[in-house]
């Protein structure tokens, strides 16, 4: 039992981010944020939308964006689409990579 310490998701299905990306479903989450599949309303392509709360003490998305931009064009790196922030959350939008989950490749002990 979690003891009621679970927090609500930052976004919900059909939420609109910057009038461009519409959330389709949540696909992951962890200690530093949440990841959603969203539709880019300009291109009609599915994208990954990663968000972190603006109130979170340790902001990591800014560093992730810098690294992602630096690695653009390299093999096995998803394409950067956009990023931004508002009073509720910081976000990065990138190409949605569908395939084997890296966690499933880890040996079990």
Binding-site members for ATP are: 50
Cα 89–Cα 92–Cα 97 angle in degrees, nearest 5: 135
The strand pair at 33-40 and 16-17 is best described as: unpaired
Q: Binding site, residues?
A: 50
Q: Which two three-digit tokens encode residue 4?
A: 């009621």
Tell me how far CA of residue 24 lies from CA of 41, 47, 78, 95, in angstroms: 12, 10, 19, 15
Burial class (CB in 10 A: 0-12, 13-18, 19+), 92: buried
């Amino acid at each position: 039992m979690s003891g009621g310490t679970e927090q609500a998701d930052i976004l919900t299905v059909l939420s609109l981010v910057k009038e461009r990306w519409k959330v389709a479903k949540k696909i992951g989450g962890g200690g530093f944020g949440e990841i959603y599949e969203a539709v880019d309303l300009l291109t009609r392509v599915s994208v990954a939308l990663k968000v972190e709360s603006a109130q979170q003490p340790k902001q990591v998305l800014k560093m992730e964006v810098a690294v992602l931009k630096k690695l653009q064009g390299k093999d096995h790196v998803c394409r950067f689409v956009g990023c931004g922030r508002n009073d509720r959350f910081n976000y990065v939008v990138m190409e949605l990579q569908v395939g084997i989950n890296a966690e499933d490749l880890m040996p079990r002990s």
